[in-house]
Structure 1
Amino acid sequence: MRRGGLGAAGVARRRQENRRMERIGESLEAVRLETVKEQCDTFKERLQEFATKYRSKIESDATFRAQFLGMCQSVGVDPLQSTKSVFGSMLGLGRFYAELGVQILTLCLATREDNGGLLDMDDCLAMLQNVRATTSDAISREDVTKAISELSVLGAGGVSIVWGERGKAFISSVPDAFNADQTSAISLIVSQGGHISLTELARQLDWTAERTDNASSSLLREGLVWLDVDPSTQERVVQQRHCEQHSMSSIMQPTGNIEALLTSSLIDILLDNYYCTLTMNGGDTSVEPLLPSIDREEVKLRSCITNLAVIAAPQIISMVLNYVPQTINVFFISRLGDADMLAAVGLANLVFNIGGVSCGYGINQAIETLVSQSRGHGGHHLASVHMAKGMCIGLLLSTILFIVLQFTEVALNFLGQDPVVAKHAMDYVNSASIGIWPAIQYDCIMRFLLCYHHPHVCTWIYAITSALHVLWCYLLVTPSSVLAGAGVAMALTFVGCWVLGILYFVFAMINPSITAIPRDALPRFTRAMFRGWWEYLKIGIPSMITLCSEWWAYEICTLIVGLLQDSAQLAAHVSVCNVSVLMFMMSYGLQTGLSAKIGAAVGSGNLHLARTYCKAAVIMGGGMLIVIEFILITFKMSIVNFYSAPEPEVMVSVYLATLLFPYLGIQEVFDFAQACMQGVFKGLGIQRYAAIVNLCSYYLCMLPLGYLFCIHFELGVFGMWTAFIVSVAAVISMVLNYIPQTINVYFISRLGDADMLAGIGLANLVFNIGGVSCGYGMNQAIETLVSQSRGQGDHKLASTSMARGMIIAMAMSTVLFGLLQLTEVLLTLLGQDPVIANHAMRYVNSASIGIWPAIQYDCIMRFLLCYHHPHVCTWIYAITSALHVFWCYVLVNPVSGLAGAGSAMALTYTTCWVLGILYFVFAMINPSITAIPRDALPRFTRAMFRGWWEYLKIGIPSMITLCSEWWAYEIATLIVGLLHDSNQLAAHVSICNLFVVIFMLSYGLQTGLSAKVGSAVGAGELHLAKLYCKAGVVIGGSMITIVILLLCIFRGSIVRLYAEKEPEVAVYELYLVRPLLCLIIPFDFAQSCMQGVFKGLGIQRYAAPVNIFSYYILMLPLGYFLSVDVGLGVDGMWLGFAAGASVIAASYTAILA
């Protein structure tokens, strides 16, 4: 029967057919695959040809690249899918967009503090072109959009594009995790052009006032907006943190902060992590992996240094160029070979500076504060009003100053100057005074441009006008016109600066997109400029006092030198002042850049950024100072030859060479430090504090001392420059000497162990009482014997006294070392906590090995002081104090504890001693440089073992005098401890710490006074010794005034420093700082200075009984009675201090009388 192929045979047949069809299909598939493979190979070959032919065009031509990508995408090919694809390997497009995306992200992070995380697309393109300038890659908006889309895998926290008004695009690096209100508010602010009032915000979003305040406050905390007040309507306004000028200034400065951030190493790190993120399949991704190993604080500091350098470097050049015209004047006048004319140009500059530009420049500093802070919070209209107001006030002030300058000759004759020199000076001022208006107006323009980060414009203006000034002087300074021609040249230079500044303002008004200065910020002369003058002057007048007090002090020094009636000394002084001002202009340029940066940071509310800029200024200022000192040392004679005439007077060159180094070199260290700190004051708007300090320092200390040295002591021009250096160097040496113990306490306190902190307090007490105080006291005999021997001219006797002191100190150190090993036994016997006593013993064990170098270096220091080399000790202490931080960082840890701190102290003592010995070796080899005769240097001969009793007759009373005072204050701490009140004890210890720092100031003056008085007595000049005593009274009185004034002004800051988190301790400290500490300081300063006279005269034996009686029979018993028995607590102990110090001061006065 037929089954129609449904049987077993049919099934087998169909299977065979299926297998044939599968074989045919596989064959066809193989053919198709082969065809596709051939097509791919052909495509690859064509792509290789295309890549070879058009690669540069794809990379450099944004339009061509966009068309190529569009063509690829139209056929379903994504060239950006992988950097390892054929596209990535041959065209590099994957890496191109990955690198571009990372650069965009880095730009967003770098500028976020200025724009709040919303970067203008146009600004981003311009910055990218600068960053990628070396690669010649043209970047388009499409490239930026494509690169940002590649960053979408980062999720929340990545970057995205948002749109503002009129289709303006912004790149947002704001986290996406916002609530609906925040998102709505920021979107509306962007759409309204970046600012909107809170009233309008509430109206458009239909919110309540509370809801509006909550949203704006949250955006303010995120750093996305500012809150400001509209001066016209007094409404609160929300402004987007988008500072167009920041990005555009980066465009104009291709070596700015953006380039520093985008180093190749940083890009490589970011890209490696970026590729890892791109290849992750799922999972949580965030922006954190982009910065895995970068120290954010380090990057921040580097960025601030770069930012500050970008704005400060042109300003430094500008300030130097600003002073170049006066230098050119001096140069051309000096070529005439007339000392009277050279002296006259110095006096003329003095008058023009004191009675002219200094006042205008000082009051203009208010522009830096007000405009920079207005710019910081985006108030460009307010910045415009402040600028116009400043120019109007400057114009009025210029008119007054012009009238004052017409009395130059009368003023100079009245002050006792040479009539011929005064007449020459009048010729100069008459011609130059017409330039007072453009000079002060241009200074306003310069400060405004600096606040808007355009210092390079000022640099170019100064460069052009300085070059032209050479031409003016060449044409106008002739033997017939002389100083009148120089004055006309100066006026022409001022006018040229002002004209160029105005032209740049006009250009900025026409092309705001190029200059990046908003039109609203440019000054407009409206009624608003005549209102609010008092607010402006409240900043301007202290600024003027701060600048003028310093400027005038140095100019008055020139008047004092002029009283010598010696043209050679006056000419040398004028030339060195010229060099000094040139160097000061460098620090002043850094100061102005720092004030602009800090002002902007404070205006934006970012105090952490302001502190970081301060650190950056310290690093930059230190580097600049090193370069300046190197130039002074290396090119000293070249500078002398530059300022001397072709046939110079011999004495002018001698004075000039000596003043340049070491006098000017040492003075610049202090000058740089204070100039930079003034920049911080200006940025914060607290110039009033600087004004008080400057007035006290210059007019109560420096000028009286300079007059005494220059006129009464007949030291001439050297006395004037010594006035500031000798006293300050000795003071700083004493303060730096105390710093290592303070550093130890700081590092131990970081460990968080109260027992260790108490242990280091007791350890310092034992080490001071049973160690260095005895050695330091005995070494005071060196001051008496060596200074008197030097005064007699017997340097060999000074050498013998020094060697004898060192051998006695070595023997005493051995005895003291043995006593220090009993520290733990002694403390336990006195009832101290055994754990704390053990900690103290570990510190003393490690530190006691340094007792030998410590006391030996003290001998060296006192010897150098007697030979008028205190600056050497200052440098040694500065170096070792800085190294001590490193020793503590390495050695102080939870394992080593106080043993590590003791080892650090021993290393510091050893380093001081080694540096002192090396200086002795240097002095032995180069006596002409150090001015220490070889005969005076200690030699170890048999003579050093004879005459010990004569040495000890002075040394033992000196030791008793010092130790009785030192020990009394340490015992007082034990008495306060008997109150069993940790708050009072903490307050006492803190104020003692402050008191010791203040005492070091008087002790520095004491050591300097003993050296001077001893030298005068040794020379038999008792009248000179009395004059030195009077000088000590003047300087000491000035220092007391300054210290008490600072204590009164900064009492709250001092208390917060010591007891910020302990209000109960602060209560005691507030009373101790004022009035008790202010009551004690005058007596303590007086007795300390008189001890210097005792040491200089060699009559310490009279001081010792007075100290023993006052401290141990009066002060300590009275302090115990008042603090413990009467119950006055720590206040009673300090009242005892006051009684003891007053009795000592009165007794010393009676003895000396």
Structure 2
Amino acid sequence: MDENMEQKLLETGDLKGRIWKESKLSWKIIFPSVLARASSYGLLVVTQIYIGHISELDLASYGLLQTFLLLFVKGILLGMSSATETLCGQAFGAGQYHMLGIYLQRSWIVDLVMATILLPLFIWATPLFQLLGEDEDVTAAVGQISLWFIPVVHYYVFLYTTQMYFQSQLKNSIVGWLCTGSFLLHLLLSWIMVSVLDLGVPGAMIALNVSSWSTVIGAFVYIIGGWCPQTWKGFNRAAFADLIPMIKLSLSSGVMLCSNATVAISAFSLCISINTWESMMRLGFFTAACVRVSNELGRGNARAALFSVKVIVSYSLSIGVLFWVLFLAFGHEIAHLVSSDEAVAEAMSGLTVLLAFSFLLNGVQPVLIGVAIGAGLQRVAAIINICCYYLVGVPIGALLGYVAHLEIKGLWVGLQCGILVQTLALLFLMWRTNWEEQVNEASKRLDRWLLELPDGPADESSSHARIHPP
């Protein structure tokens, strides 16, 4: 009896130690990721504030472009870049360090092509919004601003891919510092361009482009300058090899993630800001789940991957429950804090219950998507995503919004139903997945795309990786 009790105590102590160790690893990823995403989004917010002081028409045009076109394009590029996160994370876990740089270069090629394909949305933004029935004055102003977003679109290609390259090797702090620095630079440049030089909308957009690209330039300097000696071996023609599998994985990732922007769009009229800022935190947990799962599967440790998921879900769900309780209990007061306009505040307070439940669902769903990406299950998750949003969420939202005349509430309820079904489906997928088999799949994927270094392994720490000729 005493021996059994002692064994239980030892197991409990070991569990506490594992939780503490996993928590440190997870928050090392989560905090810089949240900081980076909040700073990146802050660039758009600061620009919006300065344009709002220029004219109401320009503000409406900028908001239209940012909320609908840019958010849609960002969702696709973020999703496609997640393929980099899968491959780099698993390769790093397997000790195939030199492959990270090759995967990064492949993702640049694939994502740049996709970004270029999407550019007509901004080039012909005026006729596009005219077709959608927008006011003529607004669409004319849209045409004057939309071309300024073209460099921003290409900035997101390099931001997301380099961010995931760093995250997979636990260099998250680099991304956090670079994005924070660009945000501070943006504050200064916006003030100079708009307030001092009085350059109007062009000045605000110049500041946005310069500040955003400063992050990418800083990342390039860090990578090429020799601070990633194990994972960057220079530009390589091998980046053009095996592009078809990379394209397939990237497109699956893009389909899986781009639909998530729909929730933010549906809530735009009253709740977009709160929902977006909260999303910065949940994307941090999404990143942590993806990195930890891909690293552990690459190492061949399925049990450690599952343990990481449990710890990250626990933290994410706890924060989701906290926001859920706060908005259920104090939704009316929060609405009046956000807006001084009584009519707007009252309308928003009617939506805070829906906002509260969206926070609760967001406590689990992003982590499950991160797990799917980390395991390389993008194709299955993409099918789940399409079915849940477009066969469940959109039809229910349309019925409630337009047939039952609940308008935005109905649309939002429908989309939340889609997220709920998606969460349940992803939970079932995680439960049914053979994680030992996923370890084998990760090994096969890495072996299939592994390229031999010209002079052999980079160092002793990576010499255990299996080296096969291309």
What is the TM-score normalised by the length of structure 1? 0.34
Does residue 39 of structure 2 align to residue 321 of structure 1?
yes
Number of aligned residue pairs? 424
Q: CA deviation at 1:680?
A: 0.6
Partner residue in 2 for 1:363: 80
Does residue 307 of structure 2 align to residue 307 of structure 1?
no
After TM superposition, the structure 1 = structure 2 runs for residues 916-931 of structure 1, keeping only pairs within 5 Å, are: none
Tell me which of 299, 306, 312 is aligned to 1:617.
312
The higher radius of gyration belongs to 1
Q: CA deviation at 1:308?
A: 0.8
Aligned partners of 1:332 and 1:656: how far apart in 2? 25
After TM superposition, the structure 1 = structure 2 runs for residues 550-561 of structure 1, keeping only pairs within 5 Å, are: 550-551=260-261, 553-554=262-263, 557=266
Q: CA deviation at 1:453?
A: 0.3
Does residue 387 of structure 2 align to residue 670 of structure 1?
no
Tell me which of 646, 649, 654 is aligned to 2:346.
654
Aligned partners of 1:541 and 1:656: how far apart in 2? 36
**2:235 aligned counterpart, secondary structure:** coil
Q: CA deviation at 1:650?
A: 4.6
CA, structure 1 residues 477+576, in 2 after alignment: closer, same or farther (shift >3 Å)? farther
Q: Decide whether the 8 Å contact of 1:388 with 1:524 is kept in 2.
A: no
Q: CA deviation at 1:545?
A: 0.5
Q: CA deviation at 1:555?
A: 6.4
Q: Decide whether the 8 Å contact of 1:313 with 1:590 is kept in 2.
A: no
Tell me which of 585, 603, 607 is aligned to 2:302.
607
Q: Decide whether the 8 Å contact of 1:636 with 1:657 is kept in 2.
A: yes
Aligned partners of 1:394 and 1:523: how far apart in 2? 21
Q: Decide whether the 8 Å contact of 2:396 with 2:414 is kept in 1.
A: yes
Partner residue in 1 for 2:444: none
Tell me which of 275, 286, 299 is aligned to 1:591.
286
Q: Decide whether the 8 Å contact of 2:85 with 2:168 is kept in 1.
A: yes
Q: Decide whether the 8 Å contact of 1:599 with 1:684 is kept in 2.
A: yes
Aligned partners of 2:333 and 2:186: how far apart in 1? 26
Aligned partners of 1:437 and 1:503: how far apart in 2? 18
Give the residue type in structure 2 aligned to 1:658.
G
Aligned partners of 1:293 and 1:708: how far apart in 2? 53
Q: Decide whether the 8 Å contact of 2:92 with 2:169 is kept in 1.
A: yes
Give the residue type in structure 2 aligned to 1:401.
L
Does residue 218 of structure 2 align to residue 500 of structure 1?
yes
Partner residue in 2 for 1:283: none
**1:521 aligned counterpart, secondary structure:** coil
Aligned partners of 2:316 and 2:276: how far apart in 1? 16
After TM superposition, the structure 1 = structure 2 runs for residues 17-416 of structure 1, keeping only pairs within 5 Å, are: 295-334=13-52, 338=56, 341-354=58-71, 356-416=73-133
Q: Decide whether the 8 Å contact of 1:710 with 1:717 is kept in 2.
A: yes
Aligned partners of 2:335 and 2:307: how far apart in 1? 37
CA, structure 1 residues 728+388, in 2 after alignment: closer, same or farther (shift >3 Å)? closer
Q: Decide whether the 8 Å contact of 2:335 with 2:345 is kept in 1.
A: no
Q: CA deviation at 1:588?
A: 0.8
Q: Decide whether the 8 Å contact of 2:34 with 2:283 is kept in 1.
A: yes
CA, structure 1 residues 576+481, in 2 after alignment: closer, same or farther (shift >3 Å)? farther
Q: CA deviation at 1:693?
A: 1.4
Give the residue type in structure 2 aligned to 1:448.
Y
Aligned partners of 1:669 and 1:389: how far apart in 2? 37
Q: Decide whether the 8 Å contact of 2:320 with 2:361 is kept in 1.
A: no
Tell me which of 406, 414, 417 is aligned to 1:723.
414
Does residue 392 of structure 2 align to residue 693 of structure 1?
no
Q: Decide whether the 8 Å contact of 2:286 with 2:366 is kept in 1.
A: yes
Q: Decide whether the 8 Å contact of 1:355 with 1:401 is kept in 2.
A: no
Unaligned runs of 5+ in 1: 1-287, 559-572, 733-1038, 1057-1153
Give the residue type in structure 2 aligned to 1:689.
V
Give the residue type in structure 1 aligned to 2:114.
L
Q: CA deviation at 1:612?
A: 0.5
Tell me which of 425, 431, 444 is aligned to 2:148.
431
Q: Decide whether the 8 Å contact of 1:375 with 1:603 is kept in 2.
A: yes
Q: CA deviation at 1:460?
A: 0.8
What is the TM-score normalised by the length of structure 2? 0.80
CA, structure 1 residues 364+724, in 2 after alignment: closer, same or farther (shift >3 Å)? closer
Q: Decide whether the 8 Å contact of 1:472 with 1:489 is kept in 2.
A: yes
Partner residue in 1 for 2:373: 682
CA, structure 1 residues 416+328, in 2 after alignment: closer, same or farther (shift >3 Å)? same
Q: CA deviation at 1:355?
A: 5.2
CA, structure 1 residues 607+293, in 2 after alignment: closer, same or farther (shift >3 Å)? closer
Q: CA deviation at 1:502?
A: 1.3
Q: CA deviation at 1:521?
A: 0.9
Q: Decide whether the 8 Å contact of 1:590 with 1:676 is kept in 2.
A: yes
CA, structure 1 residues 555+316, in 2 after alignment: closer, same or farther (shift >3 Å)? closer
Q: Decide whether the 8 Å contact of 1:587 with 1:672 is kept in 2.
A: yes
Aligned partners of 1:640 and 1:440: how far apart in 2? 38
Q: CA deviation at 1:610?
A: 0.3
Partner residue in 2 for 1:145: none
CA, structure 1 residues 549+292, in 2 after alignment: closer, same or farther (shift >3 Å)? closer
Aligned partners of 2:133 and 2:63: how far apart in 1? 16
Give the residue type in structure 2 aligned to 1:387.
L
Q: CA deviation at 1:664?
A: 1.1
Q: Decide whether the 8 Å contact of 1:389 with 1:530 is kept in 2.
A: yes
CA, structure 1 residues 415+680, in 2 after alignment: closer, same or farther (shift >3 Å)? same
Deviations 1:631-687 (A, max 9, x none): 656587567555x5xxx655333333433x222111111123111111110110001
Aligned partners of 2:76 and 2:314: how far apart in 1? 31
Does residue 238 of structure 2 align to residue 547 of structure 1?
no
Aligned partners of 1:418 and 1:341: how far apart in 2? 13
Q: CA deviation at 1:540?
A: 1.1
Deviations 1:751-776 (A, max 9, x none): xxxxxxxxxxxxxxxxxxxxxxxxxx
Aligned partners of 2:168 and 2:376: how far apart in 1? 14
Give the residue type in structure 2 aligned to 1:503.
V
Partner residue in 1 for 2:205: 487
CA, structure 1 residues 590+385, in 2 after alignment: closer, same or farther (shift >3 Å)? same
Q: Decide whether the 8 Å contact of 1:601 with 1:607 is kept in 2.
A: yes
After TM superposition, the structure 1 = structure 2 runs for residues 743-822 of structure 1, keeping only pairs within 5 Å, are: none
CA, structure 1 residues 402+475, in 2 after alignment: closer, same or farther (shift >3 Å)? farther
Q: Decide whether the 8 Å contact of 1:364 with 1:540 is kept in 2.
A: yes
Q: CA deviation at 1:608?
A: 0.5
Aligned partners of 1:444 and 1:314: how far apart in 2? 16
Aligned partners of 2:81 and 2:415: how far apart in 1? 29
Aligned partners of 2:22 and 2:284: how far apart in 1? 16
Deviations 1:774-833 (A, max 9, x none): xxxxxxxxxxxxxxxxxxxxxxxxxxxxxxxxxxxxxxxxxxxxxxxxxxxxxxxxxxxx
Tell me which of 393, 401, 405 is aligned to 1:702.
393
Unaligned runs of 5+ in 2: 1-5, 435-470
Aligned partners of 1:493 and 1:524: how far apart in 2? 26
Q: CA deviation at 1:352?
A: 3.6
CA, structure 1 residues 477+428, in 2 after alignment: closer, same or farther (shift >3 Å)? farther
Across the aligned residues of Structure 1 and Structure 2, the Cα RMSD in angstroms comes to 3.4
Aligned partners of 2:342 and 2:50: how far apart in 1? 20
CA, structure 1 residues 351+485, in 2 after alignment: closer, same or farther (shift >3 Å)? farther
Does residue 179 of structure 2 align to residue 462 of structure 1?
yes
Aligned partners of 2:60 and 2:404: how far apart in 1? 23
Partner residue in 1 for 2:275: 580
After TM superposition, the structure 1 = structure 2 runs for residues 968-983 of structure 1, keeping only pairs within 5 Å, are: none
Q: Decide whether the 8 Å contact of 1:542 with 1:691 is kept in 2.
A: yes
CA, structure 1 residues 602+525, in 2 after alignment: closer, same or farther (shift >3 Å)? same
Q: Decide whether the 8 Å contact of 1:316 with 1:585 is kept in 2.
A: yes
Does residue 217 of structure 2 align to residue 522 of structure 1?
no
Aligned partners of 1:459 and 1:344: how far apart in 2? 30
Give the residue type in structure 1 aligned to 2:406.
L
